[in-house]
Amino acid sequence: MTDPAAPLHLGRHSALPASPEEAVLDYVPNPRPDALYLARFAAPEFTSLCPVTGQPDFAHLVIDYAPAATIVESKSLKLFLGSFRNHCGFHEDVTVGIGQRLFTEMQPRWLRIGGYWYPRGGIPIDVFWQTGKAPKGLWLPDQGVAPYRGRG
């Protein structure tokens, strides 16, 4: 976790990290720390690699969280997610790992991630993870990603 007073990426040129482990996520102070609200990031063109074949896997990720003291800086999140392009991992590991890293470093009140993966071997795999029950009074809109239907 970087010092919120000095973001690493915001307003600077930043190269795509070679791996998720090398990616540094920036967090900035929450401008409304006393308000209960939901922030959403959608990554409809997320890519990682199959750990068995090395072929690309594609997903639509939706990350929802209720911030506490900090919020994740969007450019650093974009670079972190982009670093998975050359990362081999099963859908479950990638989706849950992203959620756990964000939760561990940012320490929001609550977080959930939906990984809507496109078919591999003819089977779509959707992976969902959250940190527990959502805080009472938090508006939780549907993640808005339809189940995979093929050409139907």
Please name each of the domains of the chain with its CATH number: 27-130 (3.30.1130.10)
Write down the pLDDT at residue 13: 80
Which residues of the chain are under the pLDDT cut of 70? 1-11, 151-152
Choice among 3, 26, 34, 50 that is catalytic: 50
Catalytic residue among 3, 26, 34, 57: 57
Query: For the segment 51-81, what is each residue's pLDDT rounded down to a tens digit?
Result: 999 999 999 999 999 999 999 999 999 999 9
Residues paired with 110 in a beta bridge:
66
Identify any residues that bridge with 60 across adjacent strands, giving them in sequence order. 116
Concerning whether 50 is annotated as a catalytic residue, the answer is yes
User: What local confidence, expressed as pLDDT, does residue 1 receive?
Assistant: 52
- Is 88 annotated in the active site? no
